[in-house]
Structure 1
Amino acid sequence: MVLRTGRLLLLLGLLAVVVLGSVALGAKDIPLTGVWHALTTPTGSEDDLVVRGLRVPRTALGVLAGVALGVGGALMQGHTRNPLADPGVLGVTQGAAFAVVLSIFTLGVTGLHGYIWFAFAGALVASVVVFLLGSSRTGPTPVTLALAGAAVSALMHGLVSALVLLDRQSLDAFRFWQVGGLAGRDLAVLWQVLPFVLVGLVLAAFNAGGLNALALGDEVARSLGQRVVLTRVVGVAAITLLVGGAVAACGPIGFVGLVVPHVARAMTGPDHRWLLPFSGVLGAVVLLVADVVGRVVARPGELEVGIVMALLGAPFFIALVRRRRLVRL
């Protein structure tokens, strides 16, 4: 326990350093003294406007989204008992995407503040449908949840493709959201999704002990007095709130929920009471580092964090599949 606590404190220290880097680095580097001046005694200079108006909201949203995606990924892998599962398995991402396109196509909503609520509603509806389809009299199982999620995701993806082909305005607005990024978001977006993410984190904390029992198998968990269906319901609700909030605010950012839990598990072991907080902190670190890399490598422009995560996460995914020998011809 002492070792895990020490590692968690080190991770929190690393997160603090990355947060400073996220505020200071970009198309225009700002020294730490300038950052401190902008935060404490702003005078309206260009550096003050960049720090307070652009980078602080972007960094805060990156921390929130990283925590949500990291914890959501750990929950998803635990509930499906699938090391290659990510939060999108429950159809959350594609449900949000379909709702965004539908709101643009039918209502003409084009602003982020307008369709963020549609994205969250779509994620919620899709996850509920997946849970209902994957449930039987004895409740959902890891296999049925994964199969139902794949079916619903495929259906939503087909509908999204059809809508964006029918309407150019839908395609143009959807492309901005679909890439996945932190740029262009202000603190109003953060406040919109913050309550949902906080509730999701509370549910995840309550779900950790039950998830440890489910890791032994549903029958063993029942014999230990665990209420399996209730545990799954709480877990799915937590995943929906966490990932739905992150996807609604930032768009679909891949690989965070897949990569981070594996790194955290190497540091903590399988105990979800430790795995979830480690995954949350690591998720924030990874997402912010990817965002800073995207700003620095493409100066004076930038790469969206969704693109950077795809470039960094794909090699990890391939290495994971080969190491675990999950694919055989």
Structure 2
Amino acid sequence: MQSKKAVPILILAISPVAIALVIVLSILYGAKQIDAYTVYQALFQFDEGNVNHQIIMHSRLPRVLGALMIGAFLAISGALMQGMTRNYLASPSIMGVSDGSAFAITLCMVLMPASSNTTMIFMSLAGSALAVVMVLGLSRLLPNGFSPVALAVIGTITGTFLSGVSAAIASYFQVSQNVSFWYNARLHQLEPGLIWLAVPFAVVGIIMALFLSKSITILSLGEEISLSLGQKTVLVKVLATTAVVILTGISVALAGKIGFVGLIIPHMTRFLVGLDYRWIVPCAGVMGAVFLGLSDVFSRFMNSPFETPIGVVTAFIGVPFFLYLIYKRGGGKHA
């Protein structure tokens, strides 16, 4: 279980450069090309009357910051879920957690249309928690319900059910156009004010994830080993689930449902850094941020000059990866 320390240290060391590069690319490229000098002026000599400066400061910069945050949150959530359940198919999108958040936001828009951004975030968190309870409850009732494929199927069914109910509610109350944002995440419509409101929640979720990382490493070896080492497995699972709910909930509140980041990145991270979650959690966060940031940049060129939903880009990579995992791993647990 010894991690390859050189690799995670290298990943964390180069992460500021990689993140800075993603920010630069995201600000420079889009439907309207903006040169580097204009970007410099917008950042350090902002002129409210300059349209390019407005685009940079009020659209592209919040957009890339949101993409980086969401990518990190979803990747960390996926890593925690896979380690906690020893399920290589676990992720917020496949386990229905993201759908739970979007379902709660739909209810919020119908029942409390004048809700503040803070209320939206709390509703999103509640929806994440609801989905987790539903998936785990159903898994407990079914024989072999906690096997990787069974849990993924239950999560998918739960997510589809919540998504269907949301669509029906949205259609009946004629808010389908507003709700579509949460199911077809569009980062270019991200509200800048939400980013600052999400920061305190993000800090709590990430600190919890880092604090629990050693315990998740032990738990990922198996419940019997974990218990024999004196670990309070129920408490660890409750706290880890809380961290997942927080990080997934604020991700959906920021930009809607984005799939497969929490599935792909933890696997890539484990391959590179080993099985120690003290390295996996921070490295997955960095890699998830860069992955989603670059995916967002790429989404602008897929059908230029029109915007392609970011979920389409992640699905192009995620669906084949998902099928590959099932083909290679069958119904077994991850190592």
- TM-score normalized with structure 1 length: 0.88
User: Which residue in 2 is equivalent to 1:212?
Assistant: 217
Whether 2:217 is the aligned partner of 1:185: answer no
Shift of the alpha carbon at 1:292?
0.7
Distance of 2:138 and 2:206 partners within structure 1 = 25
User: Which residue in 1 is equivalent to 2:20?
Assistant: 16
Asked whether the equivalents of residues 191 and 254 of structure 2 are also in contact (C-alpha less than 8 Å), the reply is no
SS of corresponding position for 1:88? coil
Distance 1:220 1:95, change over 3 A: same
Aligned partner of 1:293 among 298, 303, 323: 298
Shift of the alpha carbon at 1:262?
1.1
User: What is the total number of aligned residue pairs between the two structures?
Assistant: 322
Deviations 1:163-212 (A, max 9, x none): 23433x22222112210121122321101222111111011011111111
- Residue type of the alignment partner of 1:251: G
Distance of 2:62 and 2:33 partners within structure 1 = 17
Aligned runs of 1:1-329 on 2, under 5 Å?
1-44=5-48, 45-88=50-93, 90-108=95-113, 115-128=120-133, 130=135, 143=147, 146=151, 149=155, 152-153=158-159, 155-167=161-173, 169-325=174-330
Distance of 1:134 and 1:234 partners within structure 2 = 19
Asked whether the equivalents of residues 109 and 115 of structure 1 are also in contact (C-alpha less than 8 Å), the reply is no
Asked whether the equivalents of residues 47 and 53 of structure 2 are also in contact (C-alpha less than 8 Å), the reply is yes
Distance of 2:196 and 2:155 partners within structure 1 = 29
Asked whether the equivalents of residues 182 and 252 of structure 2 are also in contact (C-alpha less than 8 Å), the reply is no
Asked whether the equivalents of residues 181 and 304 of structure 1 are also in contact (C-alpha less than 8 Å), the reply is yes
CA RMSD, Structure 1 to Structure 2 (Å): 2.8
Distance 1:222 1:125, change over 3 A: same
Asked whether the equivalents of residues 8 and 283 of structure 2 are also in contact (C-alpha less than 8 Å), the reply is no
Distance of 2:245 and 2:133 partners within structure 1 = 9
SS of corresponding position for 1:87? coil
Asked whether the equivalents of residues 181 and 253 of structure 1 are also in contact (C-alpha less than 8 Å), the reply is no
- Residue type of the alignment partner of 2:78: G
Distance 1:154 1:55, change over 3 A: closer
Q: Percent identity?
A: 33
- Residue type of the alignment partner of 2:25: G
SS of corresponding position for 1:314? helix
Deviations 1:21-43 (A, max 9, x none): 11111111222222111101122
Distance 1:128 1:191, change over 3 A: farther
SS of corresponding position for 1:183? helix
Distance of 1:237 and 1:90 partners within structure 2 = 15
Distance of 1:122 and 1:33 partners within structure 2 = 44
Distance of 2:265 and 2:311 partners within structure 1 = 15
- Residue type of the alignment partner of 1:21: L
SS of corresponding position for 2:314? helix
Between stretches 158-167 and 23-32, larger displacement belongs to: 158-167
Question: What 5-or-longer segments of structure 1 have no aligned partner?
Answer: none
Asked whether the equivalents of residues 26 and 64 of structure 2 are also in contact (C-alpha less than 8 Å), the reply is yes
- TM-score normalized with structure 2 length: 0.86
Asked whether the equivalents of residues 140 and 146 of structure 2 are also in contact (C-alpha less than 8 Å), the reply is no
Between stretches 107-116 and 59-68, larger displacement belongs to: 107-116
SS of corresponding position for 2:83? helix
